[in-house]
Amino acid sequence: MQYTEEPTNAVEDDRRQMLGGFIRAQRQIANLSLRQLSAMTEISNPYLSQVERGLHEPSIRVLKSIADALNVSAEILFEQAGLISGTEKLGDEATESAVRADQRLTEAQRHALLAVYRSYIETNRKES
């Protein structure tokens, strides 16, 4: 079962650097020092420094606090982190995502709505 070498490493290095750079840029735009951001995020300033320089891949928790503190939509950060790979699919899936995320619907209602929605899509596809 040949393990697949690792084409990941170089790529991930780049991603960390990009993500870090992005965070640093945002922080500077917001005119915050590492310690100030540290206070807001409850994350140690040394670690923030390391993350910004791409020395570490922050955890989900950390990434989210940073996004919150910097007033950057988390999605944008994730995109920078190479997470949301493309936004390509997002267009088509926007409705499904929104429905699934809708806190005001019950589970059953979500399913029902999605079922209706999908049937529409399917219908339109056949008729085209």
4 binds, among its own copies, DNA, none (CB under 5 to 8 A by kind): its own copies
Instruction: Please give the angle made by the CA atoms of 117, 119 and 125, to the nearest 5 degrees.
Output: 105
Q: Which member of 18, 36, 64, 78 binds DNA (CB under 7 A)?
A: 36
Supply the minimum distance, in Å, between the C-beta of residue 107 and DNA: 23
SS3 labels along 6-19: CCHHHHHHHHHHHH
Position of tokens 């529409």?
120
Helices (H), the chain: 8-29, 34-41, 45-52, 60-69, 74-80, 88-101, 107-127
Instruction: Give the footprint of its own copies on this chain (CB under 8 A).
Output: 4, 12, 42, 57-61, 63-64, 68, 73-76, 78-79, 81-87, 89-90, 92-106, 109, 112-113, 116-117, 120-121, 124
Instruction: Give the footprint of DNA on this chain (CB under 7 A).
Output: 3, 33-36, 42-47, 49-53, 56-59, 61-62
